[in-house]
Amino acid sequence: MTVRLDGKPVAEAIDRETRTVLAAERTGAPAPSLVSLHRGVPSPFRMYLRRQARAAAALGIAFREESLAPSDGPTELVARVRSLDRDPSVHGVLLEHPLPPPYDFLRAVDELRPSKDVDGVGTRNLGRLVAQRPVQVPAVARAAFAIAQHYRLPLDGERVVVLGRSETVGLPLALLLAERPPGGNATVTVVHSKTRDLRAALAGAATVFSCVGQPGLLHRGNVPQGTHVVDVGLASVPDPERPGSLRAAGDADPEALEGWAGSLTPVPGGVGPVTVAELMSNVARAWRTLVRGEEAA
Amino acid sequence: MTVRLDGKPVAEAIDRETRTVLAAERTGAPAPSLVSLHRGVPSPFRMYLRRQARAAAALGIAFREESLAPSDGPTELVARVRSLDRDPSVHGVLLEHPLPPPYDFLRAVDELRPSKDVDGVGTRNLGRLVAQRPVQVPAVARAAFAIAQHYRLPLDGERVVVLGRSETVGLPLALLLAERPPGGNATVTVVHSKTRDLRAALAGAATVFSCVGQPGLLHRGNVPQGTHVVDVGLASVPDPERPGSLRAAGDADPEALEGWAGSLTPVPGGVGPVTVAELMSNVARAWRTLVRGEEAA
């Protein structure tokens, strides 16, 4: 039987820690605050906003959305992010990504000091991750890693595969898994669209993290029997039970892997809720750093 | 027969390109200049200095060594690096590493703007590498990659193993090999001291890059037959031909791999000379960037 790796208890454990961080510094400190900045047009990022708002409210974190004006170009975006960085009442900033041209996401997010870049996707946060002295790590990478740790999936010294090499998900997760403790200490292979033989690349993997966004990618034909699967992929597919509407799907085919994989995170209900919890945990740590005046260089 | 992958022609090709970069901007521009800052005590880094001086002289790059005073602590080191960053007559700075405590190498090297950090080991350069928008990439990682490209070793879509996960060599090289073109587009596995089964991790690898510094690590018992080996390791071992003196050795046992590996870089004469050439290439690009006033944020 394939064990279902539910995200909820993992998210709850992270939230408990976040509450402790927030409670420890409350006296006299400004309320922790998170701002999400986006283009104001429909996107997967905006769907994620509602969950951010709910999670922030539950933890006592002030949450505000800001949207760009339709006439705002790359220069205005950079100026907006810079002004949020300088605003002492704001402790975390999340910027919609990916952003289409002519916006330069990296240029804009790099206006944030590392602690305020609560999704850990700016140049300095990515660099600190490589240097094994992380400040903020992308919430989704932390979430996938937290699930694996919570359920004690094999990582330390084991062969682990990460599917996907994006700079915001696959590569940060691979670094986190490969690094010395508190990293995963795993032997990590990064697999991507140009990998010649997916099945061969997955052979011998104890745990697989899939971050592609391609429903049905993982099935009995390429996942070794008994392998644990953390499904970080997220896509929308037609819902067979409600014609005309969509439902969320991961990279794994859960029916095909049932009774074959050692364990599997569900989509929805797996990595998703843990990502929101890790984001709030990043906000709480940013807030503590800023309140204490401990920002790193 | 195992092909010997000589570094010399690769270094010469890089030097030709460097001369072109340097020649294109000469008129009215200040002479390109590299400063190497070290503790002034014997170390592997200081042995590398002589080769830097020779290579710089051959290319018309001014080269200067600076050493810390014995009383200089971490604060003085940071101040020295900051002052080199601000000196407009200096275009590249190399800082000895690793540095023993209480020095904080990363803290010090992060005083350099990204282009002047010609060894590409500062936070912003490592972050830009993850973001696939590199400014300066560690010379040794570029060198290993350049050798593989020059000799057309299998990378694109192929299984490649990097041994070693240091932030200055193994991880940057793994990122360079895994990323989209002009990266290596390879399926990369990072193997390290905690990898449970080295032989299994190397099975199926078309090309192996070893960055450990452990002579004899790679032999017929763990390298698959026909695999190409780029030996980035560097250690000193007793020289059997000159009792009482030392010679350089890589991670591979060249006698054991002769007639077994598909190809192998020699040590010395493989990655070493190419690393010096890549370092000078980084200095030339830093100089061009600074002369043109094009420094990235």
- Enumerate the residues of chain A whose CB falls inside 8 A of the CB of residue B172: 130
Give A42 or A283, the one with higher predicted confidence.
A283
Q: How far is B157 from chain A (nearest CA, A)?
A: 5
Strand partners, A85: none
φ/ψ (deg, to 5) at B85:
-60, -35
Q: How far is B196 from chain A (nearest CA, A)?
A: 5
Residue of A nearest to B195 (CA): A157
Tokens of A82: 């810079």
Mean pLDDT of chain A: 95
Q: How far is A287 from chain B (nearest CA, A)?
A: 22
- Enumerate the residues of chain B whose CB falls inside 8 A of the CB of residue A174: 190
Tokens of A9: 């208890």
Does B26 have pLDDT greater than 70? no
User: What CA–CA distance (Å, rounded) separates B211 from B173?
Assistant: 9
- Enumerate the residues of chain B whose CB falls inside 8 A of the CB of residue A200: 159, 204
Confidence category of residue A28, pLDDT binned at 50, 70, 90: confident
Confidence category of residue A296, pLDDT binned at 50, 70, 90: low
List, for residues A102-141, the tens digit of each pLDDT value.
Answer: 999 999 999 999 999 999 999 999 999 999 999 999 999 9
Q: What 3-state DSSP class applies to A286?
A: helix
Is there a contact between B123 and A131 if contact means CB atoms under 8 Å apart? yes
Predicted pLDDT of residue B296: 62
Mean pLDDT, residues B89-104: 95
User: What CA–CA distance (Å, rounded) separates B24 from B288?
Assistant: 9
- Enumerate the residues of chain A whose CB falls inside 8 A of the CB of residue B157: 194-196
- Enumerate the residues of chain B whose CB falls inside 8 A of the CB of residue A135: none
Does B28 have pLDDT greater than 90? no
List, for residues A63-117, the tens digit of each pLDDT value.
Answer: 999 999 999 999 999 999 999 999 999 999 999 998 999 999 999 999 999 999 9
ipTM of model over 0.90: yes
Mean pLDDT, residues B69-80: 96
Judge whether B44 is closer than 8 Å to chain A, CB to CB.
no
The DSSP line for A209-235 is EE-S--TT-B-TTTSPTT-EEEE---E
Of A110, A158, A200, the CB nearest to B196: A158
Q: String of b and e for B41-58 (b: at least 16 CB within 10 Å)?
A: eebebbebbeebbebbee
User: What CA–CA distance (Å, rounded) separates A110 from B34?
Assistant: 28
3-class SS string, chain B: CCEECCCHHHHHHHHHHHHHHHHHCCCCCCCCEEEEEECCCCCHHHHHHHHHHHHHHHHCCEEEEEECCCCCCHHHHHHHHHHHHHCCCCCEEEECCCCCCCCCHHHHHCCCCCCCECCCCCHHHHHHHHCCCCCCCCHHHHHHHHHHHHCCCCCCCCEEEEECCCCCCHHHHHHHHHCCCCCCCCEEEEECCCCCCHHHHHCCCCEEEECCCCCCCECCCCCCCCCEEEECCCEEEECCCCCCCEEEECCECHHHHCCCCCEECCCCCCHHHHHHHHHHHHHHHHHHHHHHCCCCC
- Enumerate the residues of chain A whose CB falls inside 8 A of the CB of residue B128: 123, 127
Judge whether B295 is closer than 8 Å to chain A, CB to CB.
no
User: What CA–CA distance (Å, rounded) separates B192 from B163?
Assistant: 6
The conformation of residue A70, written as its DSSP 8-state character, comes to: T
Task: Give me the amino acid identity at B35.
Answer: V
Residue with tokens 């760009």: A68
Residue of A nearest to B125 (CA): A127
Does A24 have pLDDT greater than 90? no
Of B107, B130, B190, the CB nearest to A126: B130
Q: How far is A123 from chain B (nearest CA, A)?
A: 4
Predicted pLDDT of residue B210: 98
List, for residues A159-207, the tens digit of each pLDDT value.
Answer: 999 999 999 999 999 999 999 999 999 999 999 999 999 999 999 999 9
Class of CATH domain B139-272: alpha beta
Mean pLDDT of chain B: 95
Topology of the domain comprising B27-134+275-292: Rossmann fold (3.40.50)
User: What CA–CA distance (Å, rounded) separates A70 from A282?
Assistant: 30
Q: Which CATH superfamily is domain A139-274 in?
A: NAD(P)-binding Rossmann-like Domain (3.40.50.720)
Mean pLDDT, residues B72-98: 96
Mean pLDDT, residues B242-247: 90
User: What CA–CA distance (Å, rounded) separates A55 from A64?
Assistant: 12
Tokens of B196: 């449970």
Is there a contact between B130 and A132 if contact means CB atoms under 8 Å apart? no
Is there a contact between A194 and B165 if contact means CB atoms under 8 Å apart? no
Fold agreement between B27-134+275-292 and B139-272: yes
- Enumerate the residues of chain B whose CB falls inside 8 A of the CB of residue A126: 126-127, 130-131
Tokens of A260: 């074959």
CATH code given to domain A29-113:
3.40.50.10860
Q: How far is A131 from chain B (nearest CA, A)?
A: 5
Residue of B nearest to A186 (CA): B195
User: What CA–CA distance (Å, rounded) separates B18 from A4?
Assistant: 56
Confidence category of residue A26, pLDDT binned at 50, 70, 90: low
Sign for the CA dihedral angle at B220, B157, A156, A205 comes to negative
**Is the CB of residue A227 less than 8 Å from the CB of residue A207?**
yes
CA B229, distance to chain mean position in Å, is: 16
User: Checking DSSP bridges between strand A159-163 and strand A207-210, what pairing results, if any?
Assistant: parallel
Of B127, B191, B204, the CB nearest to A123: B127
Tokens of B250: 């890589």
CA distances from B100 to B74, B93, B208 (A): 10, 19, 30
**Is the CB of residue B120 less than 8 Å from the CB of residue B139?**
yes
Q: What 3-state DSSP class applies to A143?
A: helix
Q: Which residues contact A164 (CB under 8 A, 6 or more apart)?
A: A170, A190, A191, A192, A210, A211, A212, A232
Does B13 have pLDDT greater than 70? yes
Mean pLDDT, residues B255-263: 97
Is there a contact between B195 and A157 if contact means CB atoms under 8 Å apart? yes
Predicted pLDDT of residue A37: 97
B82, B167, B197, best to mutate vs chain A, most A CBs in 10 Å: B167
Does A244 have pLDDT greater than 80? yes
Is there a contact between B129 and A131 if contact means CB atoms under 8 Å apart? no
User: Checking DSSP bridges between strand A235-238 and strand A246-249, what pairing results, if any?
Assistant: antiparallel
Residue of B nearest to A124 (CA): B124
Of A157, A179, A297, the CB nearest to B196: A157
In A252-291, the residues whose Cβ lies within 8 Å of chain B are none
Domain range annotation of chain B: 27-134+275-292, 139-272
Confidence category of residue B43, pLDDT binned at 50, 70, 90: confident
Tokens of A12: 């709850």
Q: What 3-state DSSP class applies to A33?
A: strand
Q: Is A73 exposed, middle or buried (0-12, 13-18, 19+ CB in 10 A)?
A: exposed
Mean pLDDT, residues B134-155: 98
Predicted pLDDT of residue B157: 95
B105, B107, B130, best to mutate vs chain A, most A CBs in 10 Å: B130
**Is the CB of residue A187 less than 8 Å from the CB of residue A159?**
yes
B81, B187, B191, B195, best to mutate vs chain A, most A CBs in 10 Å: B187
Is there a contact between A189 and B185 if contact means CB atoms under 8 Å apart? no
